[in-house]
Amino acid sequence: MFSGRQKTNDVKKSGSKKQKQNQRVRKEKPQQHNFTHRLLAAALKSHSGNITCMDFSSNGKYLATCADDRTVRIWSTKDFLQREHRSMRANVELDHATLVRFSPDCSLPSAGIQCGLVCLCSGKRKFIMTASSDTTVLIWDLKGQVLSTINTNQMNNTYAVISPCSRFVGSCGFTPDVKVWEVCFGKKGEFQEVQRAFELKGHSASVHFFAFSNDSRRMASVSKDGTWKLWDTDVEYKKQQDPYLLRTGRFEEASTMPCRLALSPDTHVLALATGTSIHLFNTRRGEKEECFECVHGECIADLTFDITGRFLASCGDRAVRLFHNTPGHRAVVEEMQGLLKRASSESTRQRLQQQLAQAQEALKNLGALKK
């Protein structure tokens, strides 16, 4: 027989046990996805929520990431191959950021919530672009005034972006093409007009994603028709000259799954991501050279090369994973060997041999040198 005091004590004890159990449950974090690979250079793991976007600064010194933990972090690229990866943290008020971009002068990153598809600011030409999920792309000044409205006529926009040179804006959607416009400014920096530049035509189904090269002289696209394409966009579009198709490659996964891509700075390597996997292609030969499977615990949210082309970065859970770009080193070896055969002067041969030796040494150190 128990007294009332004993019952009260028992209730208090059981209540305190439940509270402790609940506290333990609250403190338990989702288990971090484990991934290992011989070409994995580093994993950046400071966010407590899934990373939604990332961006390298144009000077190559920093990587910015934003996540649904309501923070933005800045990482130093010189620490990538170190054991510890330190970062600077900034909190985002009210809601988490889904997109982050450095200003062109690398002074600070700006983060925000995507309204429709994308909201980017170009520091050189002083404009902002927003794209909604219908067919509307808006060009704004920095005071929030609409400078121009573009109707893409693509039934719906799935992706839009400003080129790295800040001269062009492009979009893709339900239609099998990529449309590019030039945002024109005067010599004093005043906005003039938005005019059609060119279109990438050749896919037979809707385009998932596209990218400009750093100098905007090349572009890459991937489509639901199961192909990727590399284009020469260094054309006189004002004289109605169309881009040239340089290479088409097969990528069957794109026919059944959403896909995103990244183009290396020298345009020799194309990275394609579907689900949690990444595929690397040599754009000179159109062949797949590497495949990384189950890289993240969630679908890959962003994919980008650093400005040197040494690393490919991906995010899709609470970590950024950095890979050595071995296809890039192999492409340099192929290019240097070809140029050496045609070199006429001794100084040129010495320079090419030095670059060839550096690429071969990098592959040897990574255990990826083909005999």
Q: From CA 36, how far away is CA 24, in angstroms rounded? A: 29
- State the pairing for strand pair 311-315/287-292: unpaired
pLDDT digits (tens, 9 = 90+) for 39-62: 999 999 999 999 999 999 888 999
Under 8 Å between Cβ of 66 and 92: yes
pLDDT at 34: 86
pLDDT band at 80 (very low <50, low <70, confident <90, very high): very high
Burial class (CB in 10 A: 0-12, 13-18, 19+), 343: middle
Return the structure tokens found at 43. Answer: 């994993």
Under 8 Å between Cβ of 116 and 160: no
pLDDT at 181: 97
pLDDT band at 6 (very low <50, low <70, confident <90, very high): very low
Q: From CA 127, how far away is CA 181, in angstroms rounded? A: 14
Question: What share of the chain in percent tops pLDDT 90?
Answer: 68
Return the structure tokens found at 71. Answer: 């923070």
Q: 90 pLDDT exceeds 60?
A: yes
Q: Which of 103-117, 123-137, 270-284 has the highest mean pLDDT?
A: 270-284
DSSP 44: E
Return the structure tokens found at 304. Answer: 């980008």
Q: Which residues contact 360 (CB under 8 A, 6 or more apart)?
A: 329, 333, 369
Average pLDDT for the chain: 87
Under 8 Å between Cβ of 95 and 72: no
pLDDT at 25: 47
Q: 343 pLDDT exceeds 90?
A: no
Q: From CA 251, how far away is CA 233, in angstroms rounded? A: 22
Q: From CA 225, how far away is CA 227, in angstroms rounded? A: 6
Q: What are phi and psi of 107, to 5 degrees?
A: -70, -35
Under 8 Å between Cβ of 306 and 78: no
189: left (phi over 0), alpha (psi -120 to 50) or beta: left
Under 8 Å between Cβ of 172 and 207: yes
pLDDT band at 27 (very low <50, low <70, confident <90, very high): very low
Q: From CA 249, how far away is CA 229, in angstroms rounded? A: 6
pLDDT at 98: 83
Question: 367: how many CB neighbours lie within 10 A of its CB?
Answer: 9
Model-level pTM?
A: 0.85
